[in-house]
Amino acid sequence: MPDYVPTNAASSGVTLDKKLLKQIAARSDRPGLVYLARWAAALIATGALVWLTRGTLWLWPAMFAYGTVLTVPAYAFSHETAHGTAFRSRWLNEAVLWLTSLIYMEEPLHRRYTHTNHHTFTWHVGKDSQMPFDTPMGFGGWLAEVTGFGLLRFHMAVMVRLAFGRYSDVMRDVTPAGEFPRMTRNARVFLLIYAAIAALISAGQLWPLWFLVLPRMLGAPVMLLFTLTQHVELQENSPSILDSTRSFRTSLLGRFLYMNMNNHVEHHLYPQVPFHALPTLAKAIEAQVPEPDPGFWRTNAEVFGVVLRRSLGLSTRAPSIRQAPHMITEGGRVERIAQRTM
Amino acid sequence: MTNWVRACAADEIDEEDLIRWDHEGHVYAIYNTEKGFFATDGICTHEHQSLDEGLVIGCVIECPLHGGRFDIPSGKALSAPVCVDLATYPVRIENGEVFVATG
């Protein structure tokens, strides 16, 4: 018997009829393939803008639009395939996991097993290996998180360690031992591909700069504004996902880019449910979970206001988003609860 | 001597699904798959999670806790984090009833 209680629906007191859950969680290749086609179409459309605006200042907004379409779905697809829920066919899951993790810049199996750990110990200090910022968050933490440089540095350090076969205690703790050779091989291949891209640019080929490097950098903040909302300002060390995790409303475009992962409470309660079925799941359990927070922009604006005021020693009560009780103070010194683990 | 024990009615298990069956202190999983009925141990070999809330995908059972997968007919562990195979048990159907050879 395990000596822990995993954080999920059971630990959160949420129930769903078993037959209905299995209907909702049923796997199919079709929704993932349709998503893949739509993503490719969006990349071609925004990529055409990049091509057409070369040599003008419009290149930068075009690269931002293309970079957002490249980076946010790459993150979301990498996450979904790490769960193995995007497709019914295992080989499709694994192929898309590999490709999207290459864009997201994290070794695919490191992504899978640290994320499995994140689900087992969601937002538990010292146990969750995917806490990307210190809590409570201040302005410096927000800046490090949203620019993407903190995360990129972490993932590159992991990649180099894996490539050299140096496995940290956390890696050994969360990963089945038999997977390390594959992780090392993946990390070496990823580093070779990144080196080849750098070599092309050094040799005067600028297309990787316009279509890969700069768009990936410009799209990262949008991706990170999505992921930031998942647990920020919520309760550490709670067995209940309802305390530790946030869902928020967003537009059709937001739901597409993020693969419905704005239903984040629902995803953590039942991680076996595929992305395309999350709205159905949300409807089925809406009476048992908190109301989703307001839209993407408003939620992020409120988070930004809170972290800025916290760093200035002012009141940290947000106008409408959910906050754990200890996150709301009238100012003064803030005691750190969690140290970032990624 | 094989000990055949009646576990349930065959129509109690939906197609591409499983049920948990507790017998003499042991937990079994009984499956109705596209290749017929099968029985395995009912607890995942990874973290002691009951498999009955897992998904049957073709002839594969996916553990609901960490997504580890086993081949149902052979019990073979297919993908990490599961590394240890599930024990399997012979099954026969008689007059719409499922019998499992428990020993």
Dist CA A301 CA A111 (whole Å): 29
d(CA B101, CA A297): 59
What is the full per-residue pLDDT of chain A (342 aa) written as tens digits? 667 889 999 999 999 998 899 899 999 999 999 999 999 999 999 999 999 999 999 999 999 999 999 999 999 999 999 999 999 999 999 999 999 999 999 999 999 999 999 999 999 999 999 999 999 999 999 999 999 988 999 999 999 999 999 999 999 999 988 899 999 999 999 999 999 999 999 999 999 999 999 999 999 999 999 999 999 999 999 999 999 999 999 999 999 999 999 999 999 999 999 999 999 999 999 999 999 999 999 999 999 999 999 999 999 999 999 999 999 999 888 889 999 998
Contact partners, residue A202, CB within 8 Å, separation at least 6 = none
Rounded to a whole number of angstroms, the distance from the CA of B66 to the nearest CA of chain A is: 6
Whether chain B has a CB inside 8 Å of the CB on A21: the answer is yes
Mutation target vs A (from B12, B19, B53, B63; most A CBs, 10 A cutoff): B53
Q: Is the pLDDT of residue B103 over 80?
A: no
Cβ contact B66–A83 (<8 Å): no
Would the CB atoms of A18 and B14 count as touching at under 8 Å? no
ipTM above 0.95, yes or no: no
Where is A93: in which H helix or E strand?
helix A90-104
pLDDT digits 0-9 by tens, B45-95: 987 888 998 999 999 999 988 889 999 999 999 987 888 999 999 999 999
- Determine contact, residues A265/A273, Cβ cutoff 8 Å: no
Q: Which residue of B lies nearest to A1 if distances are taken between CA atoms?
A: B48
Q: In what order do the strands lie in the sheet with B77-79?
A: B55-57, B60-62, B69-71, B77-79
Q: Does this model's pTM top 0.80?
A: yes
Pairing of strands B36-41, B55-57: unpaired
